[in-house]
Amino acid sequence: MMDIYEYKSLEGKNFLKELKERGKAVQGDVTVVVEAILKDISLRGNDAVLEYTRKFDYKGITLDNLRVSEEEIEEALTNSDPDFIKALEKAKNNILMFHEKQKNNSWMDTQDRGIVLGQLIRPLEKVGIYVPGGTATYPSTVLMNAVPAKAAGVNRIVMVTPPGKDGKVNAGILAAASLAGITEIYKVGGAQAIGALAYGTETIPKVDKIVGPGNLYVALAKKAVYGLVDIDMIAGPSEILIVAEEDMDPSYIAADLMSQAEHDVLASSILITTSISLAAKVNIEIERQIKSLSRENIIRESLKNYGGIIISRDIMEAIDISNHLAPEHLELMVKEAFAYLSYVKNAGSIFLGGNSPEPLGDYMAGPNHVLPTSGTARFFSPLSLDDFVKKSGFVHYTKDALFQVKDDIIKLAETEGLTAHANSIKVRF
């Protein structure tokens, strides 16, 4: 059961405040551990990678089996359910179609007096993708990270993922990697994997950018190496916010709220509605459906900690609340969803209408499911093709064109006290 709050009540305001602050987990002790691991990887390379992998994941790791072999990838494909492979293929094609539409071209503009201005767009050369292991595995995340990189033209994609206690990588992850065209995969996880990608070892190459989700150790490691390499974002716990009208189906709403709650006890699932009656029906539906779900205990704790129903005056007020929270996933469960779309200012991904549930975006529709969390949708965007390219401007002036602006440049440079800049112009005339 989720608590129900009137939006402007003291309880409602306190609940919203707790939601805004939930991402501020205590990180001090973890940061110390992560920094020590990263320093060790930078100094000892392969030896440190093997040592940490033996300690945390697989005792039998060696340089000979650190990289996933072609045979292991082929075995994963052969042994996978054919229907699972077909679903992955369909998802890959949808993701590729969506991200290819994001492509921008280099451009050049010719102006008077022989001035030429332009921009070059080039793919990154090497990208590292982190894929979590453990109890939950995410082949869909492999596709969401790798397909845009491939579409951008990235030349080399290096994937890291922790092995199981048997030394194997999850077959679903390997199948997804194969379909995405990734063949360079290393059996290493945690902060040590991020360090290997950031610094490079004798075996694992240093990359230009690291993308992909992970636990707190992975997130803090990515934060620590940012600047040495680029990263996608610092992802926090998952979240969903549903804005619903009174006559929406409560069973749909309950199911969608729990679809995010099952990720993590820190996940946030929020319903904002104008109807107290609908709120009560959703709680009844949660109790009815939850008993058949495999992660019932996680869902219950998540909904207890960071789940709630807020009663708003009208749909516009509900959207205002949503814009304030800037959720990772926003579902507009209203009849005229497109009429309200233009009022949404802050959201990672938006799902319109009762038949566009959030898992559609997680797996199949095409838009990326690597999304800003913890209110960062106010200024961050979902992972996209743009994350895998870099841009350079270029300029060409003739002598005559430079003559027309030389005095202005000299004035600006001397005003800033940069006489060598001014001199660079003066010597040409």
Report the catalytic residues. Answer: 328-329
How far is 144 from 230, CA to CA, in rounded Å? 18
From residue 211, how far is each of 111, 160, 221, 339, 340 by CA, in Å? 40, 11, 12, 35, 32
Distance of CA 96 to the CA centre of its chain: 17
Geometric angle at alpha carbon 256, from 253 and 259, rounded to 5°: 150
Give φ, ψ of 172 to 5 degrees.
-65, -40
Q: What is the CA radius of gyration of the chain?
A: 25
- Please name which of 142, 180, 156, 181 lies closest in space to residue 369, comparing C-alpha atoms: 142
- Parallel, antiparallel, or unpaired for β 4-6 and 307-311? parallel
Q: Say which amino acid occupies 247.
A: D
**Residue 368: CB atoms within 10 Å:** 25
Longest dimension (CA), the chain: 83
How far is 400 from 326, CA to CA, in rounded Å? 51
Locate 301 and state its tokens.
Answer: 């704790």
Q: Specify the length of the chain in residues.
A: 429
Cβ-proximal residues to 204 (8 Å cutoff; 6+ apart), any chain: 46, 49, 158, 160, 186, 188, 196, 197
From residue 330, how far is each of 7, 69, 140, 281, 290 by CA, in Å? 18, 41, 20, 20, 22
